[in-house]
Structure 1
Amino acid sequence: MTSKHDTPTDRRDFLLAAGGLAAAPLIGQAQDRTVQATVANRRKLGQLEVSSLGLGVQNMSRTYQTTIPSRPEMHRIIRTAFERGVTLFDAAEAYGPHEVERILGVGVAPFRNDIVIATKFGWDIDQQTGQRRPGLNSRPAHIKLAVEGMLQRLRTDRIDLLYQHRVDPQVPIEDVAGAVRDLMKEGKVLHWGLSEMGLSTLRRAHAALPVSAVQSEYSMLWRGPEDGVLALCEELGIGFVPWSPLGVGFLAGAIDAKTRFADGDIRQLESRFSPENLPHNLALVALVNSWATRKQVTPAQIALAWLMAQRPWIVPIPGTTQMAHLLDNIGAAHVRLTSGEVAELNQAVAAIPIRGARLPDAVLAYSGVEAPLREK
């Protein structure tokens, strides 16, 4: 069976199904408000100032490996995001591989000096062909070679925020930090961060070279960073950037009990979306819908506003290839949750245990890894 993709009408249709036809005028009002919404507020990732919402561009070369979006439309989405106040744009050499960086480089060219470009190294990718070889590679020489390729593809002279995409279990994090420090001295990198790392590795990395941001999956659907990562970021003054803040469309209403995914769509391999677990997990969607009705906004806006309300240094990066969803997501910056509402919503979210894993085991094996100690 094919997947039910996140089309412009899916969010509306799901909310109507969950909340009844009485919600229809409400949804129209919410959509009207997002048309002119902008991201006016700013947040800090360490000492790096960015918009309170960013844009993830991972799927702009190929959506869940099943469709190829129009590049001119992706450039238009990137430029519209900037016009609406978004200043953080997140990519990686592994996305494509390489193609997403090329798309982003063209898209931001007219306003390059007014934004923050984040990208990531760490997988073993051939810099000439883009071929992705098995495993990871954070050897210092490879990092420096990877950054040279990034600069060319992004059409820029510096990376504002460079992440290690996953921790290489063969390379001490101090050696990684040393390579990044060298790149900073050359002006090619301004800030650095880690993604999905072990806690000890984060502490060691920050001691070797101050870390500006940590990127990991985090949403109402998966709250793993609450188990230590957020507390350590707060202790060290590190910002946090949640990827998949809408649970790969789940929290926005793109998935229902009948959804089955196409071959090549990673969600087909995530057991949280399996036919036996999905009906149970949809209780979370019903909760989000009820709050969307209560606040007169859309489900996606509730999910993003909830994340931003957890800490003032959290900057979600929802990804999209559709203009309607970009505008909807940007509207989340204007949703206000009182401290009492946040506590109430946190309690309700915690009362819904999610069944199934967030990623296939082979992918999860790369998360939470600790870098080896440096030999004395």
Structure 2
Amino acid sequence: MTAMPAPDPAAATTASGDTGSHRLADLDVHDDAVLTAYHRLHGRALGHDRPRFVPTSCAELAAILRTPSDRQERRTLGAFDGERLVGTALSVLPLRDNLDLAWLFVIVDPDLRRRGIGRALAVAGLAHAAGHRRHRVLSEFELDGAVSTEAATAYGPVAFARGLGFAIASREVRRELALPADPDRLAALDERARRAAAYRIETHTGLPDPSDLPDLVRLMGLVTVDAPTGSVTIEPEHFTADGVARLLTAKLAAGMHLLTVLARDGDGAVVGFSTQQASGEPAAPVIQTDTYVARLHRGHGLGAAMKAAGIRWWTQQQPARQRILTCNAQDNAAMVAINEAAGFVPIETLFLVARIAP
């Protein structure tokens, strides 16, 4: 990736185009009217040209943006056309780890793209990162279908990022499993999981048991270390039991359904987990968030065992659910093999992009 100069903060005050100037201002996400406008824009922008896009409910978005965090600082900047919100830039700064890194997510109303709004928001976000001495900035873009790294540069979002000095760091594929799952596919997962006979697989709904949280948060912090992230190196993330419980409680209050599948060794310690969630709409898709097995316990079929347990739980307990979504890096061969064995098929491609300033 090419090292780029820090952006000029003065360039982030307005966005000018053939619609005139657009005012930039910080958003108060605790204001219900502001959050409603943000949610509406979020769905329009992220769902554009993505027929399989799964929108986030307004209640879930509120849980994510409003819940206090002990591990990251968030800033949400808005671009306004008069009083109408037409773009946002969400900046996320880790506070406990990866202190040279920031995340930046820019969205613009699809009808107002290519008018300088996104660039003004991005430059402001980059200036915010630079002001906090974050010389690495990461972002993500999702495209419909199977898109190669070479072909991605022709797509608007990736071309936009490259124009700001970002480069593609890794490629992930989002896959979908239609429910109910094929019994033969589940049998294939069971065959893979036979090596896990010495372990115990459990399913838990809602909040994890407080006694399991120390093991769980330790493993959660290792996900970004062991999961392939291409050319980007990420330090272990430092979660706290209180912080995780606080966010999960907010999601439950937003009407979400949470499932945690745990793998325990012979001593009862948690050595693997799989987390999944779905909105309160009975037919809404299930989102597989993370699956992780501690290094010393790999090779025993625990990933397959937890995957099968999760699929069966949703099928039996909430039969109106029609699909499960998961996302893995293209070079995460072990998990991709498990998902393909279960019957997951590719539907979208996600690109992690990175910008490194001197």
**TM-score using structure 2 length:** 0.33
Q: Which has the larger radius of gyration?
A: 2
Q: Which has the higher helix share?
A: 1
Kindly indicate which of the two structures has a greater share of residues assigned to strand: 2
